[in-house]
Amino acid sequence: MALDKKFIVLYIVFGYFMACSNNPYPHEDGTTKIFYTAFTSSPKNLDPQQTYTMADLAYLRLIYEPLVDYHYLDSKRLIPALAKKIPEEKVIYENGVVKEVRYSFDLQEGVHFIDDPCFPGGKGRELVAEDFSYIFKRASDPFVNCPVASQLVCIKGFKEFGEKALKERARRIAEFEEKNKVKFDPEKHYLKSKEMYDSLGDFPGIQVTGKYSFDMVMNYRYPQIMYWLAMRFICALPYEAVDFYNPTVEMTSNVPMRFDMRPVGTGAYRILWEEFRKEQKVVLKKNETWWGDKLLRHTPVFQKNLLMKMMLNLAIGRKSGLENLSHSLTA
């Protein structure tokens, strides 16, 4: 009888250890499509018009979308992204000299920003061509300090608009200090960008030609600019988010309240703020309203394979049905 009890105890102990697992991830995630990976440093800046690091780009490529993008398997080739097609260069000559160079962009329709508190009612609005007028203006603003601004000066009026923005910002800061009798502190005070840019007039290098179309006008030929546009410095970002998440907004939880750490894009994934721990874990959840899913759903079967190749580097995870992407900090 004692021998039988020993066998029973051994059986229970053996069964207990057999039930254990070396899986370091939550048990409830076992049936969910989640890609886990590690990062060696936490994200530092998620403003696509400011950051230039590969660590931050790992997030930005999934959250923000450019007009054109690099092909996933061929870095020398560009593919359409938010633009329906790669625009052709149109050169206008006058007396044998280049007068202007024009690229005409037609945007995908039905592209929406993710739902976010920065929008009225928290509902993400549709991306329109007018957004890119703001985006190029912001890139020219010296205050933003866009790393590729010097490569974009070929755009008509780019440098001049930046100079006007610099002077207007200085004027408004002086006016603020005179009115409030305090020194303007960028860590505590903020000037609304959209209203200021609008007050400076048109940006001649970006001419909106329709709700979903605009022309980029340049002073001279510079074909390499298309490769700069394939990076995230010029991508779909809403002015509402830029002006909503600013230093005057008080942070009451782990959720960032500054635009350089609060990305609001149109991409295939968005940050799951409920689980955001900057120094420990960042979870990216699929964007349920991503325009790419709708495009695939209404594409004839014989065209889907080609379309999936075109969109492969827009959201490589969505191709395999990944629900979440989880990044964790490693020692």
The per-residue pLDDT for range 122-131, each reduced to its tens digit, is 999 999 999 9
Query: In whole angstroms, what is the distance from residue 187 CA to residue 48 CA?
Result: 20
**Whole-structure pTM over 0.75, yes or no?**
yes
Q: 206 phi and psi, to 5 degrees?
A: -125, 110
Residue whose structure tokens are 């979903």: 212
Residue whose structure tokens are 């007018």: 130
- Burial of 100-128, coded b for 16+ CB within 10 Å and e otherwise, reads bbbbbbbbbeebbbbbbebbeeeebeebb
Taking alpha carbons only, the member of 193, 190, 186 closest to residue 165 is 193
Residue 60 has pLDDT above 80, yes or no: yes
Compute how many other C-beta atoms are within 10 angstroms of the C-beta atom of residue 245: 23
- Domains of the chain, start order: 28-329 (3.40.190.10)
Q: How far is CA 64 from CA 49, 153, 232, 235, 331, in A?
A: 11, 23, 7, 6, 28
For 80-121, the pLDDT digits (tens) are 999 999 999 999 999 999 999 999 999 999 999 999 999 999
Q: How far is CA 327 from CA 55, 208, 287, in A?
A: 11, 39, 17
- Grade residue 250 by pLDDT with cuts at 50, 70 and 90: confident
Q: Are 42 and 281 in contact (CB under 8 A)?
A: no
For 268-326, the pLDDT digits (tens) are 999 998 888 877 888 889 898 899 887 666 555 444 444 444 444 444 444 444 555 55
| pLDDT for the residue 247 | 84
Compute how many other C-beta atoms are within 10 angstroms of the C-beta atom of residue 203: 23
Average pLDDT of 217-225?
A: 96
Residue 2 has pLDDT above 70, yes or no: no
Greater model confidence, 309 or 138:
138
| pLDDT for the residue 26 | 67
Q: Are 128 and 110 in contact (CB under 8 A)?
A: no
Greater model confidence, 247 or 204:
204
- Grade residue 166 by pLDDT with cuts at 50, 70 and 90: very high
Query: In whole angstroms, what is the distance from residue 163 CA to residue 159 CA?
Result: 6
Query: In whole angstroms, what is the distance from residue 199 CA to residue 133 CA?
Result: 13
Query: In whole angstroms, what is the distance from residue 64 CA to residue 50 CA?
Result: 13
- Grade residue 217 by pLDDT with cuts at 50, 70 and 90: very high
Greater model confidence, 64 or 5:
64
Q: Where are the beta strands (DSSP E) in the chain?
A: 34-39, 68-71, 74-80, 90-94, 97-106, 206-210, 213-218, 269-271, 281-286, 324-329
Taking alpha carbons only, the member of 216, 229, 237 closest to residue 78 is 229
Dihedral angle sign, alpha carbons of residues 91, 92, 97, 99: negative
Q: How far is CA 124 from CA 57, 118, 127, 165, 238, in A?
A: 23, 9, 9, 28, 10
Q: Is 274 left (phi over 0), alpha (psi -120 to 50) or beta?
A: alpha
